Amino acid sequence: MNVLILGSGGREHAFAWKIAQSSKLDSLFIAPGNAGTAEVGTNVNIEVNDFEAIKTFVIENKVNMVVVGPEDPLVNGVHDFFLADEKLKNIPVIGPKKDGAELEGSKEFSKKFMQKHGVPTARYQSFTKENLEEGYAFLETLKPPYVLKADGLAAGKGVLILEDLQEAKTELKNMVADAKFGAASTTVVIEEFLHGIELSVFVLTDGENYKILPSAKDYKRISEGDTGLNTGGMGAISPVPFADEAFLNKVEEQIVKPTINGLKADGIDYKGFIFIGLMNDKGSPSVVEYNVRMGDPETEVVIPRIKSDLLDLFEGVANRTLGEKTFEVDDRTATTVMLVSGGYPEAYEKGKIMTGFGAIENSIAFHAGTKQEGNNIVTSGGRVLALTSFGTDIKDALSKSFANAEKINFDKKYYRTDIGFDLV
Ligand code: AMP
Ligand code: GLY
């Protein structure tokens, strides 16, 4: 099989690393990829939203399957584009069509979906500039902190959590009337604040059957002790110790099943990953958000723990035979620690020469923001490298990730030394 992965981060390197191990694989392409994906496949210089260029490449290179990493091309309809094209319609795309991608593309859509199908989530209402006054009144009925969410995609920045009522009102106005997040905040969802501890559960579905993948917890803030600005994620751990069998059973019965059945009932034929962001409040799960893709850096701990052939599972998704596929998970703990460029998530420099790859032992280095420049691997993003390790427990796995974090060098390297601090 010839496979094309769309994307260029640590998530896509982890997919490529895993797919490269499949006996079903002939050729692996990654568009646009990074210096790490080039070690296990062939990078193709095409952007993920350039559907015409993707089409030409897929036809010329006899690609048999497309695996979509990020949400953008899904929300923009890459899967629909394939289905509408005579030459592409029989090539499976792993990732939902536009209708399913709305679960991430619109917070209002996803809240309505959850409410309709009885999936536990925070109470909410949505507002535009037409009913701003009602938005102020709704805020007055809530207790702080106040949660304001831009309806559309805002590159992970569209959620504000505010302690002060007056500030919440001002920000609501900034969002709906003054386009704080551009068109994404024309509509704003205001919801109740959920207490508890966050984790994520991932589902792979063919629209009918599903597999629940290993749970994971990521560390989103830039600084130690989960403080400072939000990032894409500074590290991750799988499995999550407090997500025991009893809790995961609740997640499956109260959340996964109603989600899969709800999609079917609404006529949404969903083939791909569902990333369920959860809050665990004293053993009761509720949904913070859906994403229509895998998480990053969660993928860097979840995918290595899957022992089964990922391409075989993807074939199951494509043929709607996922229920017949074996699915085995490694019992060991996996951790990943993200090396980032100094300054991230604000301004940072790129093009820093990276050294130390040869010294890495007992970890997998998943490239997130790197590129090959002559004989050097240089930094090309805020998040640079995810160091994933296995261990008997979190401490054991982390000791390997941290030891290798010291060995990789580049100017202004930064990483958090307290990943997993709340779990050990
Ligand atoms: P989202 O993009 O919806 O995942 O929101 C980003 C982050 O904001 C989440 O990962 C949570 O940490 C936090 N968050 C979102 N909604 C809530 C909520 N209702 N209660 C508490 N925290 C929330
Ligand atoms: N790590 C969070 C995300 O991928 O959205």
Instruction: Check which CATH number belongs to the domain holding 148 and give it.
Output: 3.30.1490.20
DSSP state, 194? P
Indicate whether residue 159 lines ligand 1 (CB < 6 A): yes
The verdict on the CB of residue 194 being under 6 Å from ligand 1 is yes
Q: Based on the fold, state whether residues 82 and 133 are members of the same structural domain.
A: no
Give me the mean pLDDT over the 265-284 stretch: 96
Residues 92 and 131 in one domain: no
What confidence tens digit (pLDDT) does each residue in 293-319 have? 999 999 999 999 999 999 999 999 999
Q: Are residues 184 and 134 in the same domain?
A: yes
Query: What is the model's pTM?
Result: 0.96
Closest residue (by CA) to atom 14 of ligand 1?
288
Cβ of 142 closer than 6 Å to ligand 1, yes or no, is no
Question: Could you tell me the CATH number of the domain that includes residue 87?
Answer: 3.40.50.20
- Answer whether 287's CB lies under 8 Å from 278's CB: yes
376 alpha carbon to ligand 2 midpoint, in Å? Answer: 29
Ligand 2 centroid distance, CA of 233 (Å): 6
User: Mean pLDDT across the stretch 71-75?
Assistant: 96
Are 54 and 132 contained in the same domain?
Answer: no
DSSP string, 215-268: PBEE--EEETTTEEEE-S-SEEEES-TT--HHHHHHIIIIIIHHHHHHHHHTT-
Mutate which of 288, 296, 298 for ligand 1? The one with the most ligand atoms within 8 Å of its CB, which is 288
Residue 168 Cα, ligand 1 centroid: separation in angstroms? 15
Reported as a single tens digit per residue, the pLDDT across 202-247 is: 999 999 999 999 999 999 999 999 999 989 999 999 999 999 999 9
- Residue 80 banded pLDDT, cuts 50, 70, 90: very high
Domain assignment of residue 107, yes or no: no
Q: What would the mean pLDDT of 267-287 be, rounded to a whole number? A: 96
DSSP, residue by residue, 25-86: -SEEEEEE--TTGGGTSEE----TT-HHHHHHHHHHTT--EEEE-SSHHHHTTHHHHHHTST
Q: What is the mean pLDDT of residues 35-61?
A: 98
pLDDT of residue 424: 82
Closest protein CA for atom 5 of ligand 2: 295
Is the CB–ligand 1 distance for residue 277 below 6 Å?
yes
- What pLDDT is attached to residue 211? 98
Q: What is the pLDDT of residue 145?
A: 95
Q: Is residue 20 part of a domain?
A: yes
350 CB-near residues (< 8 Å, 6+ apart)? 341, 369, 378, 379, 380, 381
Ligand 1 atom 12, closest CA: 198
Residue 145 lies in a domain: yes
Stretch 409-422: mean pLDDT: 96
Q: Are residues 93 and 130 in the same domain?
A: no
* 184 within ligand 1 shell (Cβ under 6 A): no
- The answer to whether residue 51 is domain-embedded is yes
Task: Say how many domains are in the chain.
Answer: 2
pLDDT confidence tier of residue 182, bands split at 50, 70 and 90: confident
End-of-domain residue from the set 191, 221, 248 = 191
Could you identify the atom of ligand 1 that is nearest to the CA of residue 191? 19
State residue 153's pLDDT score.
87
Q: Is the CB of 364 under 6 A from ligand 1?
A: no
Which of 159, 181, 231 most suits a substitution to test ligand 1, by most atoms within 8 Å of the C-beta? 159
| Per-residue model confidence (pLDDT) at position 154 | 85
Q: Is 191 in the pocket of ligand 1 (CB under 6 A)?
A: yes
Q: Are residues 7 and 87 in the same domain?
A: yes
Distance CA 408, CA 355 (A): 6
- Residue 179 covered by a domain: yes
**pLDDT over threshold 80, residue 156:** no
Q: Are residues 7 and 93 in the same domain?
A: yes
Average pLDDT over residues 340-351: 96
What's the gap in Å between 153 CA and the centre of ligand 2? 13
Q: Is residue 50 part of a domain?
A: yes
Taking the centre of ligand 1 as the mean of its atom positions, its distance from the CA of residue 277, in whole angstroms, is 8
Which of 43, 78, 97 is at the close of a domain?
97
- Give distance in angstroms: CA of 156 to centre of ligand 1: 10
Write down the pLDDT at residue 151.
92
- Band (pLDDT 50/70/90 cuts) for residue 292 is very high
Give a yes or no: residue 204 inside a domain: no
Q: Of 176, 191, 206, which closes a domain?
A: 191
Which residue type does 268 have?
Answer: I
Residues 49 and 133 in one domain: no
Distance between CA 211 and CA 152 in Å, rounded?
28
Q: Which ligand is nearest to the CA of 230?
A: 1
Q: Which residue from 213, 291, 294, 303 has its CB within 8 A of the most atoms of ligand 2, so it is best to mutate? A: 291
Ligand 2, pocket residues at CB < 6 Å = 218, 232-233, 291, 295-296, 298
Distance 295 CA to ligand 2 centre (A): 4
Q: Quote the CA–CA distance of 307 and 328 in Å, as a whole number.
A: 5
Q: How many residues comprise the chain? A: 424
Q: Which of 122-131, 291-300, 327-336 has the lowest mean pLDDT?
A: 122-131
pLDDT of 285: 97
Domain boundaries, position 169: 124-191
92 lies in the same domain as 53 = yes
Do 93 and 162 belong together in one domain? no
**To test the ligand 1 pocket, which listed residue (124, 289, 290) has its Cβ within 8 A of the most ligand atoms?**
289
pLDDT at 370: 98
Average pLDDT rounded to a whole number, residues 48-69: 98
pLDDT at 185 over 90: no
Q: Is the pLDDT of residue 155 over 90?
A: no
pLDDT value, residue 179:
85
| CA 164 to each of CA 167, 178, 188, 195, 409: distance values in angstroms, whole numbers, following the listed order | 5, 20, 18, 17, 42
> How much distance in Å is there from the Cα of 147 to the middle of ligand 1?
8
* Amino acid identity for residue 308 in this structure: S
Mutate to test the pocket of ligand 2, among 213, 296, 301, 302 (most ligand atoms within 8 A of CB): 296
In a domain, 173, yes or no: yes
Is a pLDDT exceeding 80 seen at residue 250?
yes
Cα-to-centroid distance, 159 and ligand 1 (Å): 7
Predicted local confidence at residue 221, as pLDDT: 94
